[in-house]
Amino acid sequence: MKILRLPMIVLACVVCAALLALQASQASGKSAKTVTFSKEVAPIFNKNCANCHRPGEAAPFSTLTYKDARPWAKSIRQQVMNRTMPPWHADPHVGQWANDARLSQKDIDTIVAWVDGGALEGNPKDLPPAPKFSEGWAIGKPDVILDMGKDYVMKPGSPDEIQYFTVETNFTEDKYVQFVEARPGNRQIVHHIIAFIQPPPKTDGSKQLSPEERRKMREAAMRDNIFYQDGFLTKVKADAPVYDNACDLPSGGNGSKRDGSGDGGGEGGGSSTLLAGYAPGKNQEIWPAGTVKKIPAGSKIVFQLHYSAFLNPTGELKDRSSIGMIFAKNPPDRELKTHPIGNHYFKIPAGAENHKATACWTAPEDLHIVTFMPHLHMRGKSMEFKAIYPDGRTEVICNVPKYDFNWQLVYYAKKPVAVPKGTKILVTTTWDNSSKNKFNPDPTKDIRWGDPTYEEMTIGWIDYTLDKQNLKTTAMK
Ligand code: HEC
């Protein structure tokens, strides 16, 4: 027995030692994998979060330093795991996007491991170089900054307002804008900014409508009993004709039959005049190199400001929003045109959970679509862009299955989408006007088109270039 016992003890010790060694190796394996802010997490935050999560920007905390990010660790873990952050709502199986904000699974795993491991700082010496952001402007230092020209004051308790401000550019030659950014002066009240180019009165015989002409058309539409004015807001009358499927209408749904240019926002909409937009989640334009927006000499800029009471719980608040522009340094190839594909005639019944409407636009020439931007309000649920090619083939070219009103994201096609002349772009929208939609301000109301966020809209904005255009040879000598 004695003889046997010894080996058993030895055996037991060998097992002990093995277990200890295993534990030790697991522990050291763990420590080798310990994720720290300084080494593994800061590079992810700098690349994917800091453009919004830094002082002076829209997000509620900064990810630039450990001290600022650490208290939010739990929330960060949750928001990246369920892909609420960074905001991105396009279906990943449709199209490829130059500005795709989604984190890779590896980055998500790293952030989760960091939080689960105690959200450690690590060695500050491991920190990557601090990212460079220029003075407030995401596009870099603008060549020209233009603001609204005066302060706008919103009184507490005001309803939503749409206000226009027109300013001179004083440009004495045509300008080609490569980068442009609209910046709200006061994020507490600015829901969106749209800056339009208002060219000088026609001298070139082009078909472009001036805002005055558009206003006249809008008035004609009002005479058609479609729109009415409610203070500063334009709305569609409750008893206006209803066409949820607007594709059979001559206008495809945009404005009344006489107003092919309606953009859902009053004057200045329509084709080819939109310069820049801001809305939560969207502020800079990153067009492909050589693709520009043209501002003809002598143009004015019209700011359309949507001030939202929804964002203004207290006090009298002032705003002076602005746009910054950087001009093309090299001769550009093509000019970007903008078109709103919208339906003004829908009616969303009270309580409807999944109400559908369509709008259509037919490509007048061979063109390439560069960006897509769905715009709906608080009941918005989804938007899909489908191309119906002249040969009958159909293709979904952008799909946003879970629209979120809090974010007005622009989807920049990695490769602009070729659209031959005669292609019909069918935009299908759904809204949730039921009480299941937590953003719904009133599920008991039938909803028509209207400016304020508590009414609805549907606009599928697209930016496109015309294939035949070559500014290098025509515009820039
Ligand atoms: C496009 C701008 C933008 C980007 C990019 C972005 N965020 Fe955000 N984030 C915001 C804004 C704005 C809010 C506030 C949203 C709100 O109040 O509904 C927010 C909210 C959050 C919150 C919720 C805070 C809370 O109240 O609990 C977390 C966590 C967060 N972001 C983490 C991240 C992380 C991590 C990244 C990068 C991986 C990221 N965000 C990228 C703009 C952004």
Quick one: pLDDT at residue 15?
41
Quick one: pLDDT at residue 12?
40
The residue out of 91, 126, 161 marking a domain boundary is 126
For residue 23, being part of any structural domain is answered with: no
Read off φ and ψ for residue 46, nearest 5 degrees: -60, -40
Lowest mean pLDDT among 245-254, 289-298, 309-318: 309-318
Do 148 and 224 lie in a common domain? yes
Residue 127 has pLDDT above 50, yes or no: yes
For residue 350, being part of any structural domain is answered with: yes
For residue 106, being part of any structural domain is answered with: yes
Do 181 and 106 lie in a common domain? no
Q: Cβ-count burial of 391 within 10 angstroms (0-12 exposed, 13-18 middle, 19+ buried)?
A: exposed
Q: What is the DSSP letter of 417?
A: E
Quick one: pLDDT at residue 464?
94
Quick one: pLDDT at residue 419?
97
Quick one: pLDDT at residue 476?
41
Lowest mean pLDDT among 135-139, 157-161, 189-193, 251-255: 251-255
For residue 139, being part of any structural domain is answered with: no
The strand pair at 291-295 and 334-335 is best described as parallel
Do 74 and 112 lie in a common domain? yes
- Ligand 1, atom 31, lies closest to the CA of 85
User: Rounded distance, CA 211 to CA 197, Å?
Assistant: 10
Lowest mean pLDDT among 103-112, 137-146, 184-193, 439-448: 184-193
Do 288 and 329 lie in a common domain? yes
Residue 313 has pLDDT above 70, yes or no: no
Bridge partner residues of 466 (DSSP)? 367
Do 274 and 334 lie in a common domain? yes
Do 96 and 160 lie in a common domain? no
- Ligand 1, atom 9, lies closest to the CA of 59
Lowest mean pLDDT among 147-151, 234-238, 328-332: 328-332
Quick one: pLDDT at residue 219?
65
473-477 — which CB contacts under 8 Å span 24+ positions?
475/174, 475/176, 475/294, 475/332, 476/176, 476/331, 476/332
> Where residue 161 falls among pLDDT bands split at 50, 70, 90?
confident
pLDDT tens, position by position, 264-274: 333 333 333 67
- Tell which residue, 180, 172, 173, has the closest CA to residue 196: 180
For residue 86, being part of any structural domain is answered with: yes
Specify which of 287-296, 337-346, 384-393 reaches the highest per-range mean pLDDT: 384-393
The range of the structural domain enclosing residue 368 comes to: 144-474
Do 115 and 174 lie in a common domain? no
Lowest mean pLDDT among 283-292, 300-309, 360-369, 379-388: 283-292
For residue 159, give the CATH number of its domain. 2.60.120.230
Please give the distance of CA 196 from its chain centroid, rounded to a whole number.
Answer: 17
pTM here is 0.80
Residue 373 has pLDDT above 50, yes or no: yes
Do 287 and 254 lie in a common domain? yes
Number of domains in the chain: 2
Residue 279 has pLDDT above 70, yes or no: yes
Distance from the alpha carbon of residue 141 to the mean position of ligand 1, in angstroms: 25
Strand, coil or helix: 468: coil
Quick one: pLDDT at residue 264?
32
For residue 416, being part of any structural domain is answered with: yes
Residue 73 has pLDDT above 60, yes or no: yes
For residue 245, being part of any structural domain is answered with: yes
Distance from the alpha carbon of residue 441 to the mean position of ligand 1, in angstroms: 24
The residue out of 79, 95, 126 marking a domain boundary is 126
Identify which of 49, 63, 278, 282 to mutate to test ligand 1's pocket (most ligand atoms within 8 A of the CB): 49
For residue 166, being part of any structural domain is answered with: yes
267 vs 286 pLDDT, higher one: 286
Do 392 and 329 lie in a common domain? yes
Task: Report how far apart, in Å, the C-alpha atoms of 106 and of each of 29, 81, 98, 119, 121 are.
Answer: 19, 11, 20, 17, 20
Quick one: pLDDT at residue 214?
67
pLDDT tens, position by position, 416-465: 999 999 999 999 999 999 999 999 999 999 999 998 788 999 999 999 99
Find out whether the beta carbon of 177 lies less than 6 Å from any atom of ligand 1: no
Locate the ligand 1 atom nearest the alpha carbon of residue 58 and give its number. Answer: 12
Do 88 and 192 lie in a common domain? no
Do 87 and 156 lie in a common domain? no
Do 104 and 150 lie in a common domain? no
The residue out of 126, 154, 181 marking a domain boundary is 126
Residue 5 has pLDDT above 50, yes or no: no
